[in-house]
Amino acid sequence: MVSVQLEGVTKTFGNARAVDRVTLNIGRGELFFLLGPSGCGKTTLLRMIAGFYQADEGRILFDGRDMTGVPPHKRNTGMVFQNYALWPHLSVAENVAYGLDVRKVPVTQKHERVMRALEMVRMDSLAGRSPNQLSGGQQQRVALARALVIEPEAVLLDEPLSNLDAKLRLEMREEIRRIHDELGLTMIYVTHDQKEALSMADRLAVMNRGRIEQTGAPREVYVTPENVFVAGFIGETNLFPGTLLPGRFSDEELQVDTPHGVLRVARKSSTAAPGRVSVSVRPEAISVRGTEEALSGGVLRGVVQSIIYLGDTEQYIVRLADGKPVRSVEANPARPRARTGQEVCLTFRSEDAIALPPDTSNGG
Amino acid sequence: MGSKSLTSASAIFLVLLFGVFAVFLVYPVGYVLESAFYREGVFTLEFFRLMFTNPVHREAIINSTMLAITVTAVTTIIALPISFVMVRRDFPGKSLLNGLLLVPMVMPPFVGAVGMQQLLAKFGSVNLLLIKFGLMSPRDPFDWLGTGFWAVVLLSVLHLYPIMYLNVAAALANVDPSLEEAGRNMGASGLKLFRSVTFPLMLPGYFAGAIIVFIWAFTDLGTPLIFNYSRVVPVRIFEAVSDIHENPMGFALVVLVLAMTVVFFAISKKVLGSSNYQMMARGHVQGSSSALPRRWVPLVWVSMATVIGCALVPHASVVLSAIADTWFMTILPSSYTTVYIGRVFTHPLTLSSIRNSLFLSSLSTLVDIALGVTIAYFLARKRFIGRDVLDGLAMLPLALPGLVLAFGYVAAFSGSFLDIKRNPMPLLIIAYAIRRLPYMVRAAYAGLQQTSETLEEASLNLGAGPFRTLRRITLPLVFANIVAGSVLAFSFAMLEVSDSLILAAKEEFYPITKAIYAMSLRVADGPYVASAMGLLGMVLLATSLIVAGRFLGKRLGELFRA
């Protein structure tokens, strides 16, 4: 088990910068997530750690050892591929034993370790099967066992659950987390599924266009996104462009002037400098109230455009006076808060609103 | 950088590959070009002027062109309706007929020609049958063979229509049914729809098949030789081999064939290149075929059976000739014997030819495996400068008539240690190998394409080096394709005609095909022993195709398409 450091790692394909000056520190035994939309460079980065690509610039270090120029078969990482990459001409047990054969592990010890790895993923009863006879979830488990059995320095997982159905995905999340905790492995896990990352990660890095947008623990990244991209990619958010007013309203609050009135926002370390900002408020932080029960604080007025009932939650889309739609999510909706077409107030606590640097990418 | 880039070891391999192509493909062809245009170091077009003014050569060019046009037209007329029914309609027995349609391919047509002489002779089976039914006067039997033109057309058509069918059917199957539906939606139907939508869309595929057939018919040497139809280009070239140093006319004719081939393939590139219909519209519509109305089923069966039946007549004639004891002035042999089949294994010429062919084909297949798998691996897995050139060189033999290559070998290597007058074996092996290399490359390439690269990456990731990965993962996964490619390379090498006829200079080095030709020229038992050898060849090729089909499944047909 190793720590993995990336120092200014850059990779270009033709004219496209797939990975752009990425610097990361992944600790020993950490379950670390690379999270981002497709094409953001997260898989390229993982493949560089595995050694399938060489960095154009920068270095990758395992426990301080420079990995530049070390070919993939000498890095001792265990990779789980998105399509599992199980060899169809070998049985389940032979697939798992392959890495031990390469390492010339004695036969008796090899057999024991293969069986232990298969037990770990609860596939020991199907050791003699061919991969073609397994379901997607079972193939996934075998691929995991094959990567674990060699006792790798780091386990690399490339969207391992993306080909599974929703229910199995939930099951495997817990399974992988359990294995990680049992073996105390360094795991680097690539996904575009923010729920997967939030629910499993020790820490995660959000990537966009080849760059790291933010690194941190799941709760930290969700509650205090550093920019509009992270706020929008992890969870949903409502953005209100405006101008951060100088001075402060109170010790914990600042004021932002927006077309919808002055909004009070939390004062946090990540808060932008005075000037143009975007105020981000998560839908679940916004409550829909009748106009008569409106409280003081952040108050917006609008008309309910649509209501979507989802069982555990209820979503309201409220159109403000200038036509801007705002999304609100009510948890555990015992009875509807409003009717379509009704005029309502939207309220939220100032500590749930943060001012972010303005979105430069598409002005929204 | 990355796994796709070249290591120094693979760079050396690559240089060697290019070296092989340079010496045995580019150099001979270049030598022919040079000899045709330069006389004592001076550029000249004299031979080309002669080619069109000399009546013998002019006639040969006209004959060969007419022959190729006729064969292409007739195979089109046969293959087009068959393809439509097979691709667009479902009916009982369809898959059986689909298999039977390809059966005629199991014999080189010149072997069929040996047997057909017995059937089409003045007092051969056909005329005797007609006389028996009073349709012909015994005093004035019709001369079917005539100049030999129509006999060559007949044999070529019966051999080549499956190739045309495979190409047309593939083209038709690739036409997105939704495009036709759109046409129908606009009110077009029947011939109008075919002319305005279907035919333009399938044209590239049809064109590819038509070029193969045209060039094949134009350059076929064996069939005209057997029917003694000597005023065609291939026979002229064949005869020019003997006085290759005195008379440069052979070079000019070879260049003519080469130029024609190049022009056709350039046109087809243009036609194929400018039409990316398939890319544009790949709907998820599956199975555009509909059930054939029941009353049509018998008609379809009868017409298809007629085509297949006709195509198998040469085969039957070879079988009958092989086991006929006496067959003179009767419709069928009057008595049968296995003497001639036995003689194949006792006569010194035939026996040594079998030995030669087995030796040559085995070695050339090994060369194909080594070259083909390496090339396919480079093409499928590596990025390097010159990739397109390598791809082009490996596929070039598909377009290059065997006649051209063999003539180039004779000319370019004469006087060197590879001279055919010393020992033609090395050049025969190389010629066979180069000619069948595209099949091997295609088969292995298809296998590599279907094998996800992550399977190899997973092996590297677990600590196996590149060679171990190749041995334990890559090769086992594409093994079936390699076997299929080898079987095809081997069996076609066994029955390679023009290379064998031109390169095998001495009797002791004759392979089977040249022995069949030599035998058929002998009086008395010659044609019978030749037929017996043809029968053996037929069995060999049929077995090989079945074996290859087992390994490749439905993809076998893809190897014969352009």
pLDDT of residue A111: 93
Q: Are residues B303 and B420 in the same domain?
A: no
Q: Are residues B4 and B135 in the same domain?
A: no
Using the beta-carbon criterion (under 8 Å), do B457 and A52 form an inter-chain contact? yes
d(CA B515, CA B534) in angstroms, rounded, equals 10
For chain A, the domains span: 4-223, 228-356
Q: Are residues B9 and B61 in the same domain?
A: no
Q: Count CA atoms within 13 Å of residue A126 on its CB side.
A: 19
Domain that holds residue B529: 1-30+338-562
Number of A–B residue contacts, CB under 8 Å: 74
> Low-confidence residues of chain A, pLDDT below 70?
248-249, 269-272, 292-298, 359-364
Residue B470 DSSP SS3: helix
Q: Are residues B204 and B347 in the same domain?
A: no
Residue A332 DSSP SS3: coil
d(CA B515, CA B501) in angstroms, rounded, equals 9
Nearest in space to B434 (alpha carbons), one of B472, B470, B480, B400: B400
**Nearest C-alpha in B relative to A145:** B462
pLDDT of residue B190: 67
Residue B169 lies in a domain: yes
From B455, B461, B465, residue closest to A87, measured CB to CB? B455
Residues of A in contact with B1 (CB under 8 A): 53-54
Q: Are residues B272 and B209 in the same domain?
A: yes
Using the beta-carbon criterion (under 8 Å), do A83 and B472 form an inter-chain contact? no
The position carrying tokens 């049929």 is B542
Using the beta-carbon criterion (under 8 Å), do A73 and B461 form an inter-chain contact? yes
CATH number for the domain spanning B380: value is 1.10.3720.10
- Domain count within chain B: 2
pLDDT of residue A178: 92
From A53, A83, A98, residue closest to B462, measured CB to CB? A98
**Nearest C-alpha in A relative to B479:** A89
pLDDT of residue B178: 66
d(CA A291, CA A301) in angstroms, rounded, equals 8
Residue B505 lies in a domain: yes
Q: Are B533 and B350 in contact (CB under 8 A)?
A: yes
What CATH class does A228-356 carry? mainly beta
Using the beta-carbon criterion (under 8 Å), do A71 and B460 form an inter-chain contact? yes
From A85, A86, A102, residue closest to B457, measured CB to CB? A85
- For residue B438, give both structure tokens: 């595209």
pLDDT of residue B186: 67
Q: Are residues B359 and B262 in the same domain?
A: no
Q: CATH number of the domain at A4-223, please?
A: 3.40.50.300
A78 min Cα distance to partner chain B (Å): 6
Q: Are residues B103 and B214 in the same domain?
A: yes
Q: Are A201 and A222 in contact (CB under 8 A)?
A: no
Q: In terms of C-beta distances under 8 Å and separation of at least 24 residues, what long-range contacts does B447-452 make, across chains too?
A: B447/B376, B447/B477, B447/B478, B447/B480, B447/B481, B447/B482, B448/B376, B448/B377, B448/B380, B448/B381, B448/B474, B448/B478, B449/B380, B451/B477, B451/B478, B452/A83, B452/A85
- For residue B461, give both structure tokens: 């990731």
Q: Phi, psi (5° rounding) for residue A13?
A: -115, 110
Q: Phi, psi (5° rounding) for residue B250?
A: -55, -45
Instruction: For chain B, list residues whose CB is within 8 angstroms of any CB belonging to chain A.
Output: 1-3, 452, 454-455, 457-466, 468-469, 472-473, 476-477
Q: Phi, psi (5° rounding) for residue A332?
A: 50, 60
In chain A, at which residue ranges do the beta strands (DSSP E only) sit?
Answer: 4-13, 16-26, 31-35, 57-62, 65-66, 77-80, 154-158, 187-191, 203-208, 211-216, 238-244, 253-258, 261-266, 275-281, 287-290, 298-309, 313-320, 325-331, 343-348, 353-356
Strand-strand pairing, A253-258 and A261-266: antiparallel
Radius of gyration of chain A (CA): 24
Residues of B in contact with A72 (CB under 8 A): 3, 457, 460-461
Using the beta-carbon criterion (under 8 Å), do A52 and B473 form an inter-chain contact? no
Per-residue pLDDT reduced to its tens digit, B189-247: 666 777 777 777 777 778 877 888 888 888 888 888 888 888 888 888 888 877 776 67
d(CA A51, CA B372) in angstroms, rounded, equals 29
Residue B40 lies in a domain: no
Tens place of pLDDT per residue across chain B (562 aa) = 345 666 777 888 888 889 888 888 888 888 888 777 777 777 777 777 777 777 878 888 888 888 899 999 999 988 888 888 887 777 777 777 777 777 777 777 777 777 777 777 766 777 677 777 766 666 666 666 677 778 888 888 888 888 888 878 877 776 766 666 666 666 666 667 777 777 777 777 788 778 888 888 888 888 888 888 888 888 888 888 777 766 777 787 888 888 888 888 777 767 665 544 433 333 333 445 667 677 777 787 888 888 888 878 888 888 877 777 666 666 667 667 777 777 777 777 777 888 888 888 889 999 999 998 888 888 888 888 888 888 888 888 877 788 888 888 888 887 777 777 777 888 888 888 998 888 888 878 878 877 888 899 999 999 898 889 988 998 888 887 788 778 778 877 887 888 888 887 777 788 888 888 887 777 667 777 788 888 887 887 777 777 777 776 655 555 555 4
Q: Per this entry, what is the length of chain A?
A: 364
Give start and end residues of each alpha helix (H) in A121-258. Answer: 136-148, 166-183, 194-200, 218-223, 228-233
Helix axes B475-494, B348-381, angle to 10 degrees: 140
Alpha carbon B351 to chain centroid, angstroms? 26
Give start and end residues of each alpha helix (H) in B337-424. Answer: 339-344, 348-381, 387-399, 402-412
From the DSSP assignment, how many helices (H) and strands (E) are in chain A?
Answer: 8, 20
Q: Are residues B269 and B348 in the same domain?
A: no
Residue B285 lies in a domain: no
Choose, out of A9, A79, A130, the residue to mutate when testing the contact with B (most B CBs < 10 Å): A79
Q: Are residues B323 and B342 in the same domain?
A: no
Q: Are B222 and B113 in contact (CB under 8 A)?
A: yes
Residues of A in contact with B457 (CB under 8 A): 50, 52, 72, 79, 81, 85
pLDDT of residue A10: 94
Q: Are residues B505 and B384 in the same domain?
A: yes
d(CA B231, CA B237) in angstroms, rounded, equals 11
pLDDT of residue B168: 81
Strand-strand pairing, B89-90 and B290-291: parallel
Q: Are residues B324 and B369 in the same domain?
A: no
Q: Phi, psi (5° rounding) for residue A346?
A: -110, 125
From B1, B454, B462, residue closest to A102, measured CB to CB? B462
Q: Are residues B239 and B101 in the same domain?
A: yes
